[in-house]
Structure 1
Amino acid sequence: MRIGELSRQTGVAVPTIKYYVREGLLPAGRLTSPNQASYDDTHARRLRLIRGLMDVGGLSVSAVREVLAAVDSTEKSVHKVLGAAQEAITPPSVGEPAGLAEARRTVAELVRRRGWRVEPDNVTAAESLAVALATFQGIGHGAIEEVLDDYADACERIAATDLAFVGRNAEVDTLVESVVVATVLGDAVLSAMRRLAHVDASARRYDEGAHDASGGPEPVH
């Protein structure tokens, strides 16, 4: 297909497609003449992946480039590639709040206590967690540490569900891509679902008047 058809199929403007090619996110089309290139379904699939990572996952162009490099790698195991992709999609921490050293020790102890197999080079997520805990402490909500194992229980179940879902629905040659997509877009799904659950839990716990005639909570609109 020509670039115009690729644009119509994916909803991505032609100039944007050309930009992605220049940035190395999208492979160039096969030249059919000095001024024409042909594209196929693999380009359409990659374009949809790029837009999903950016629009829903909120990744920058540079982060998408790193994620795609991990997805396309043929030299690492699925586990290693997933780790590289997670490092790319975890935003770097900004600043060092007071109490960060203690928070780092809390995270290290959590990892040890849970028996998590976190490799030394997979530190970005651990550092982000430490910064969050130190910030909680700094604004007077240090008791968050009391529920870390409850959160860890939930996260272990979510991680197992993610990988089981991917294993059921991905072919071997798209397994890495599927795991990365589930990680990036799954964050958006979980964040939105958590907010919905908060609304429901708040209504059930604190809004005593929010009940319909049947005695159940009113639906959220």
Structure 2
Amino acid sequence: MKISELSRRTGVPVASIKYFLRQELLPAGRATAATLAEYGDEHVQRLRLIKALTALGGLSIAATRNVLAAIDQADSSEGALGAVSYALPVPVAAQSAAGDEEEAEADATAGAEVAELLAALDWQAPGTSPHVQGLTSALKELRRLDARYAPGELAAYARLAESVARLDLERAAGVDDPVALAERAVIVFAICAPVFELLRRLAQEDQVRRRAAGDGAEAASPR
């Protein structure tokens, strides 16, 4: 197909396709003349992934290039999922303005709390994981505001998150092609996460309204 057809099938403007070609995010098409080239289904798939990473995932061109390189080198579906997961922005709490010594002590306390939680859950995540570091920062900020979780509360939330994670990965089940899997991962990680957060807020709204109406007993009971 010509570049105009590639644009029509993917919804990506021709100018953007040419830009992705110059940035080497998209492989060159098969040259048919000095200024013409033909593109195939692999270019359609690649463009869909680029669009997902940049538009849905909010990644820069440089970050997108790194993700694509990692996906191309991945030898398993888990590798492709991991590349996308580590590349997407990580929610991190704002850093406090405490002094160096106090900050180091707060980091150590929150880090120990996260390590203890991961060990109790038997979750496989290295200390270098951006998600471990993000959770450490968040817990440190909660402690600074005197709003930390009570013993057992964080583990209860973590178990719920574990159930959601299983459902998330089931949506990627049966996809063996690394590029198609990476596109699905962006959708799950970047788009389904806000859906879950909105469901959580709707549930909170329901609970608040029930409690305000004096129906706390029913609000607290499972259905």
TM bucket normalised to smaller: 0.7 to 0.9
Which ranges of structure 1 fall in alignment gaps of 5 or more residues?
A: 210-221
- Indicate the residue corresponding to 1:155 in structure 2: 161
Which ranges of structure 2 fall in alignment gaps of 5 or more residues?
A: 97-102, 214-223
CA RMSD of aligned residues (A): 2.6
What is the number of equivalent residue pairs in this alignment? 203
Matches within 5 A, 1:1-221: 1-74=1-74, 76-91=75-90, 96-97=95-96, 98=103, 99-119=106-126, 122-143=128-149, 146-168=152-174, 170=175, 172=176, 174=177, 176-187=178-189, 188-206=191-209, 208=212
How far apart are residue 164 of structure 1 and its match? 2.9
How far apart are residue 96 of structure 1 and its match? 4.6
Over 3 Å counting, the alpha-carbon distance change for 1:190 and 1:85 in structure 2 is closer
Q: TM-score, normalised by structure 2?
A: 0.78
| 1:184-217 deviation digits (Å, cap 9, x = unpaired) | 32232122232233124323433646xxxxxxxx
Over 3 Å counting, the alpha-carbon distance change for 1:184 and 1:8 in structure 2 is closer
Q: Secondary structure at the match of 1:141?
A: coil
Greater relative contact order (Cα 8 A, min sep 6): structure 1 or 2? 2
Give the residue type in structure 1 aligned to 2:14: V
How far, CA to CA, are the matches of 2:77 and 2:25 in structure 1?
21
How far, CA to CA, are the matches of 2:89 and 2:81 in structure 1?
12
In the alignment, is the contact (CA less than 8 A) between 2:92 and 2:135 conserved in 1? no
Moved over 6 A (4+): none
How far, CA to CA, are the matches of 1:62 and 1:94 in structure 2?
24
How far apart are residue 92 of structure 1 and its match? 8.8
How far apart are residue 12 of structure 1 and its match? 1.1
Identity across the alignment (%): 33
In the alignment, is the contact (CA less than 8 A) between 1:53 and 1:185 conserved in 2? no
Give the residue type in structure 1 aligned to 2:86: E
Give the residue type in structure 2 aligned to 1:113: A
Q: TM-score, normalised by structure 1?
A: 0.79
